[in-house]
């Protein structure tokens, strides 16, 4: 995932990227946003680029440079 979902939070975007990275399909009975392993992996991803503290921020509220950092995190 290299595009970000503007209506989602930074963490939600990272969770979806982590799910795709692991090759997991979307699950109907266990939502990705409740999967602790995905949440932890997404947190590590965000910490690598210094965006961990912005996890609950909607992407639409990020500065341009922060969005680029998020795109980088999602691509790694």
Q: Is residue 45 within 8 Å of 73, Cβ to Cβ? A: yes
- For 2-30, what is each residue's pLDDT tens digit? 589 999 999 999 998 988 888 766 665 45
- Give residue 35's pLDDT: 85
- For 35-71, what is each residue's pLDDT tens digit? 899 999 999 999 999 999 999 999 999 999 999 999 9
- Give residue 2's pLDDT: 57
- 58 pairs with which residues across the strands? 9
């Amino acid at each position: 995932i290299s595009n970000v979902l503007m209506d989602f939070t930074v963490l939600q975007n990272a969770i979806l990227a982590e799910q795709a990275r692991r090759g997991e399909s979307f699950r109907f009975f266990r939502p990705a946003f409740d999967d602790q392993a995905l949440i932890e992996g997404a947190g590590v991803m965000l910490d690598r680029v210094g965006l961990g503290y912005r996890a609950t921020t909607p992407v639409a509220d990020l500065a341009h440079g922060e969005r680029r950092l998020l795109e980088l995190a999602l691509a790694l």
